[in-house]
Amino acid sequence: MSRPPLRVVLADDERMVRTALRVILEAEPDLDVVGEATDGAEAVSLVRALAPDVVLMDVRMPGIDGIRATEQILATMAEPPRIVVVTTFENDSYVYGALRAGAAGFLLKRADPDELIGAVRLVARGDSLLFPAAVRSLAATHAAGAPSATAPWVRRLTDREADVLRLIATGLSNHEVGERLGVGPQTVKTHVAAILAKTGSRDRTQAVIAAYEGGFLMRKG
């Protein structure tokens, strides 16, 4: 029995952008665009009503922007969708704010169709869309000052958890981390869950940002 298509909501104030995204996604049999929003407030309402699997969220929109919309969706829904922010500029404070708020990753509007389709499928299965160099650059540019001291949670990491966090910060999947450390994927998953709990993070993207902001990883560009 085949799985139902992944349900996607598009949030962007430019109709041409929404149309282009819809055409690309709906050419795939496993993807279904179920709604479009023109600003952050509409995105929040639409997502609550439709309960999609994935939201492609423009970060710069009139009224409620993508950061606030992301925060509201994640704070008010028991089972929120995975949110990917879409931006024109890679090193954008809005992108950083959305990632800190809990977005699973970001895409550039100039991404090719295969990248877009792959990103939707990736986040829908629970992974994060990490671009290590870009996240490092964002943290170096937009994190609020160098930490005066290492965050307390860093000292609570076990040596193996610290190893896992360093590796996921390079963009490796659980399977790849397991191969690097010589352990099984389930063991890695257990370590990742502990890392999320100790850093107070929703997902891997937030944990990596916490690692930069907390002084665990260097933030030099």
pLDDT in tens, 97-114: 888 888 888 888 888 999
Q: Which of 78, 97, 85 lies closest to 43, judged by CA?
A: 85
Q: What is the 3-state secondary structure (H, E, C) of 136-192?
A: HHHHHHHCCCCCCCCCHHHHHCCHHHHHHHHHHCCCCCHHHHHHHHCCCHHHHHHHH
Predicted pLDDT of residue 137: 75
Q: Where does the pLDDT of residue 219 fall: very low under 50, low under 70, confident under 90, or very high at 90 and above?
A: low
Amino acid at 137: S
Under 8 Å CB-to-CB from 115, ≥6 apart: which residues?
107
Distance CA 203, CA 29 (A): 28
Q: Where does the pLDDT of residue 147 fall: very low under 50, low under 70, confident under 90, or very high at 90 and above?
A: low
Predicted pLDDT of residue 172: 85
pTM of this prediction? Answer: 0.82
**51: pLDDT strictly greater than 90:** yes
Could you say which DSSP state residue 203 is in? S
Which of 50-64, 158-172, 179-193, 200-214 is predicted with the least confidence, judged by mean pLDDT? 200-214
Q: Which of 118, 119, 40, 112 lies closest to 84, judged by CA?
A: 119
Instruction: Give strand ranges (E) for 20-138.
Output: 31-37, 54-58, 82-87, 105-108
How does the average pLDDT of the chain come out, rounded?
A: 88
Domains observed in the chain: 6-129 (3.40.50.2300), 142-213 (1.10.10.10)
Over residues 203-211, the mean pLDDT reads: 88
Joined together, the tokens standing for residue 90 give: 């890679």
